[in-house]
A and B are shown apart, each in its own frame.
Chain A
């Protein structure tokens, strides 16, 4: 089955760290760039981070730059997000998402999403 399954979400105190993982199955993982997108409770979608198929290109939203690190292990079909110096405003449901092979532009839409893992940052 083609799917993404996130894990690692938890309740953590401000300033602490957390590592999220995303397991990919049913497709050739190392053919595709991957993203993390988050959604605060009752709010809209916020793009967090991007990693190219070979980890050669990485990008972050300004709100997480310098605190979060995206990585992938193509041998294990897994994507990760290391989250340091967590803040209450990082509280959200974190989705991993796969880039589509379709689209005429260089930048592709996201055609496969996981169900999300909840991160709560609170004392």
Chain B
């Protein structure tokens, strides 16, 4: 089974910072990776799919890159509403829609 490892698990940052979260797959998954944002007590929200395609309505300060086994989510200039937990999800291996363990972004 494919495993996803996110780093770091916790990230402390300030409003206006540029931050990057990494997701590594245990085997190549082409570009079949999505990123989600989850705020406390809320459902996850799709941010990016196909590794780099921004979901409709998601602010352009969010961007994704990578292919194969290494992927990144970058937030260009942190806003107060961006402090949340972020998850990657692989979409290469049917039907095991595995998620990474999450990265908590804190002030």
Contacts and interface: CB of A to CB of B under 8 A. Distances in A.
Contacts of A110: 34, 36, 44, 46, 89, 97
The DSSP consensus for interface residues of chain A is: loop
Given A103-B91, A108-B91, A35 B43 contact: no
Interface in A74-123: 95, 100, 102-111, 113-116
Interface stretch (B10-18, B20-28, B49-57, B69-77): B49-57
Given A104-B31, A107-B94, A44 B43 contact: no
A45 B55 contact: no
Chain B interface residue count: which class? 20 to 34
Contact of B97 (A35, A95, A100): A35
Contact of A61 (B43, B55, B96, B101): B96
A45 B44 CA distance: 9
By size class, the interface of chain A is: 20 to 34
A47 interface: yes
A114 B43 contact: yes
A10 interface: no
A100 to B, nearest CB: 7
Interface in A13-48: 35, 44-47
A45 B99 contact: yes
B43 A105 contact: no
A61 B1 CA distance: 11
Interface of B: 30-32, 34, 36, 38, 42-46, 49-50, 53, 55, 87, 89, 91-102
